[in-house]
A and B are shown apart, each in its own frame.
Chain A
Amino acid sequence: MEQVLEFASVCKSFPGVQALSDISMQVCRGEVRGLIGENGAGKSTLLKVLSGAYQPTSGRITIAGKEREILSTRDGLEAGIAVIYQELYLVPEMTVAENLLLGHMPTRRSGLIDVQKMYDTAKAQLTYILEDIDPNTKIKELPIAQRQMIEIAKALLHNASIIAFDEPTSSLSDKETQRLFKIIAALRDEGKAIIYVSHRMEELFEVCDSVTVFRDGKTIETFREMAAVTPDMLVQRMVGRDIKDIYHYYARPIGEEVLKLEGFTGPGVPTPVSFSAKRGEILGFFGLVGAGRTELMKLLFGAEKKHTGRIHLNGKEVVINAPMDAIELGIAFLPEDRKNEGIIPIRSVEENINLSARRKHVKGKFFLDVRWEAQNALEFIKKLSIKTPSKDQLIMNLSGGNQQKVILARWLSEKTSIIVMDEPTRGIDVGTKNEIYSLMYKLTEEGKTILCVSSELPEIMGISDRVAVMRDGCIVDILQRDQLDKERILTLALPDRHKSTIHNSNERGE
């Protein structure tokens, strides 16, 4: 196969951090190369070096046989490189069409934007990624999964020959993921070179032809044949130790009912929803994108105004009108959208961890307890192995997975009895996932209740004591652990009208 991309000893350092210390690898035409490595191993940094967003401190990049210096993202585009970043970069107030063609809008001879052409191009591109959205919809009106698909459509618009995906499925549900895989397969058949970063092992085995393992900014090993590797081998290379069963579920004592929701309706939850959760239980919530899981959790937490609904906590009715009400009652909420709802980008790791819990650790109602602040931050940096040069590093300089850990630490610092986690392990590496699950079991053993929303079916099936399956804003069924079955859950989650469209798109893709 013809080699189109080569990194030779590429290094990149930031003040106080050596993000890449020796990256060497080659990718060929028509190859899908997987990248895997712990949080902070340098995967995203490498893609940013490739796209021209960062300049390498040393090393060479060769594209199609020519050594190139990519000094800006413009250079990157010209060299035929498209990168879909881990974080979304869309303008929420602009329409889908405007976002897709941002910086490349078609104009008429008069210099005005050719609205019709823009609309048509956008429509064609949306059809290409099998997304049925009106190009005139504003980005802010779309759920996060569709935004991610728009981001992909945008990157594919320029007919690049090298395409890199940085954890594209972290905010997609199974349905979109399958669609994305078809797109990737089509791109491979067109002879593009593709780089695919993901923490989800199954995905790598599904789409990749070869895989490179990263550790501490170095390429540890490249496996040219997926047939020659096993997930266990990859994990071993990645974290340097064996992980037998990542979920390692075990039965724990489950107590009385502590939380009961009755007749909840609100934005995204049109028909009344009721459910209850027990002490010491992990109650999983599964559903496709748009099934209303996040919306339901936000109503529970008071982040959105509910129209109707009553909450009982430990048998007593309580009122929750705003997040602080919920927090005061001992309910924590880990939001799904890390960038917009989680991190305070320009503040330090320490401040981000202590943001909520510090009010319980003040002196004289008002003054910071500096000792506690430092201690708590350091404790969680260690406990969750957050990779950061110091607790004073700005959180925006951390890798995506490490930012997620910081937000998780924020909620674990709280003394809560009920923890709502919306996609808690999004973007987190296998080793740490394993530790987070242990932590979740331990928390429930201490008598806490966890409501866990996830789009990853294996995860939901792996850790939940019960699973609530949602569809179109309703809970269609709640399954006991011994009733859990992949087919059954998926059938429940799939709305009837979608069953036929999936079928159609299958045919179209083949």
Chain B
Amino acid sequence: MKGVNKTMINVGALTAKSKRLWDTSSMFIIFIILFIMLSLFVPYFLTVRNMIGLGLSVSMVGMVACTMLFCLASGDFDLSVENIVAFSGVTAAAVINSTGNVTLGIIIGMIAGGMIGLFNGLIIAKAGINALITTLAMSQIVRGLAFIVSGGQAQSIGNAGFFGLGNGLFLGVPNPIWITAICFVIFTVLIKSTTYGKNTLAIGGNQEAARLAGIHVDRIKIIIFTMQGFMAGFAGVVLASRMTSGQPNTSQGFSLDVISACVLGGVSLSGGVAPIMGAIVGVLIMGTVQNAMNLMNIPTFYQYIVRGAILLMAVMIDQFKQSNKKA
């Protein structure tokens, strides 16, 4: 009897190990397989030019995914980031065009985003309104602001000094990719080794317990949304730089791209867990699929369907993992 039990424990531990490996790196394995397949079968996929293009396209989602990760970890959503991207882009463009000062434009663009985030945070934390509803309402307002600031039209920017931010290279790699990489490093440290990260996870796991443990729940929520706003604002400025103009109707559907990338990487929508490595892989998978579809000339209409399907798949994977954990 004893021997039987021993082996049973061992088998249990072994399957547990492989299960954990699958839990943490399933998406990474899928990404590697996907990448190899695409390299083999899609012409021009594995070229330096395409790789840089791919890096550029994921850099936007990647940056904002860093802060969205915190938002999701705390059990909330932010649907307004796509509109903040547009709003801060046109704001930066307007400031640069009227003052000629690039630095000022960048800073004001970011602050514009940060203010929206702060506002989101205040409403959610202080008035206790559901984040989904707050940011949904805010996204309408902000899109409206973007159109008002730009007069409804793309604002092309005259000052070429601004374009370096989004189009410049460092060691042969475009700046936005570097920026995204740095963001990921910073936010990995934040979530893993600071009280801020741990408290965010605690709030997502059980808000009332966190409050009774003396965690400043309101303050942390406000910080989360403000950072989210700043980051989206920054992404908006970088995008404006890349496009050499501020566009009021850019980035539609971007918020859900970011969220689906996070969920794809194993971030739970009910809060409390935030595997940042997973989020990186999620961002890469989303970007790679999009890039390959472009290379294969799949019409945009169909790309929407694929994007939706991926989001659905992501949520289903989340669900599957949750129910697996319970059993």
Contact = CB atoms under 8 A, between A and B. Distances in A.
B211 A323 contact: yes
A303 B15 CA distance: 43
A410 interface: yes
B8 A57 contact: yes
B40 interface: no
Interface in A9-60: 9, 11, 13-16, 18, 21-22, 57
Given A343-B206, A347-B272, A323 B212 contact: yes
Interface in B182-221: 193-196, 198, 201-202, 205-206, 208-216
A346 B203 CA distance: 11
A366 B194 contact: yes
Contacts of A335: 209, 212
A219 B78 CA distance: 52
Residue from B15, B211, B214, B273 with most neighbouring chain A CB atoms (10 Å): B214
Contact of A324 (B193, B195, B216): B216
Given A341-B209, A370-B193, A324 B202 contact: no
A368 interface: yes
B213 A410 contact: yes
Given A15-B13, A15-B15, A358-B198, A344 B214 contact: no
A229 interface: no
B276 to A, nearest CB: 15
Interface residues of A, number: 38
A340 B16 contact: no
A351 interface: yes
Given A15-B15, A16-B12, A324-B215, A355 B202 contact: yes
Given A351-B198, A367-B194, A22 B1 contact: yes
A267 to B, nearest CB: 15
Most buried by A among B195, B198, B213, B214: B213
B12 A333 contact: no
Contact of B16 (A15, A362, A368): A15
B206 A11 contact: no
B181 interface: no
B272 A356 contact: no
B19 interface: yes
B313 interface: no
A327 interface: yes
Contacts of B12: 13-16, 18
A351 B202 contact: yes
Given A18-B8, A347-B272, A356 B213 contact: yes
B280 to A, nearest CB: 21
Nearest to B15: A15
Contacts of A328: 214
Contacts of A368: 193-195, 198
A383 interface: no
Contacts of A340: 206, 208-209
A347 to B, nearest CB: 5
B323 interface: no
Nearest to A334: B212
Given A303-B212, A324-B215, A366-B195, A345 B13 contact: no
Given A358-B198, A359-B195, A11 B8 contact: yes
Nearest to B205: A344
A351 B205 CA distance: 11
B300 to A, nearest CB: 39
Contact of B13 (A9, A16, A57, A347): A16
A341 B191 CA distance: 23
A65 B9 CA distance: 31
Contacts of A323: 211-214
Interface string A314-342: 00000000011011100001010000111
B212 A13 contact: no
Nearest to B197: A368
B8 to A, nearest CB: 6
A342 B202 CA distance: 11
A352 B19 CA distance: 24
A340 B215 CA distance: 16
Interface in B9-59: 9, 12-13, 15-16, 19
Contacts of A341: 208-209, 212
A417 to B, nearest CB: 15
Contacts of A333: 212
Given A362-B195, A366-B195, A368-B194, A344 B16 contact: no
Contact of A342 (B201, B209, B214, B272): B209
A491 B8 CA distance: 56
Contacts of A303: 211-212
B124 to A, nearest CB: 18
A16 B14 CA distance: 9
Interface string A268-300: 000000000000000000000000000000000
Contacts of B201: 344, 347, 351
B5 interface: yes
A345 B268 CA distance: 14
A328 B215 CA distance: 11
Given A323-B214, A346-B205, A366-B195, 9 more contacts: A16-B13, A323-B211, A323-B213, A324-B216, A344-B201, A355-B209, A355-B215, A356-B213, A367-B193
Interface of B: 1, 5, 8-9, 12-13, 15-16, 19, 193-196, 198, 201-202, 205-206, 208-216, 268, 272-273
23 contacts: A15-B13, A15-B15, A16-B12, A18-B8, A57-B8, A303-B211, A324-B214, A324-B215, A328-B214, A344-B205, A344-B206, A344-B210, A345-B272, A346-B273, A347-B202, A347-B205, A351-B202, A355-B198, A355-B210, A358-B195, A358-B198, A362-B195, A367-B193
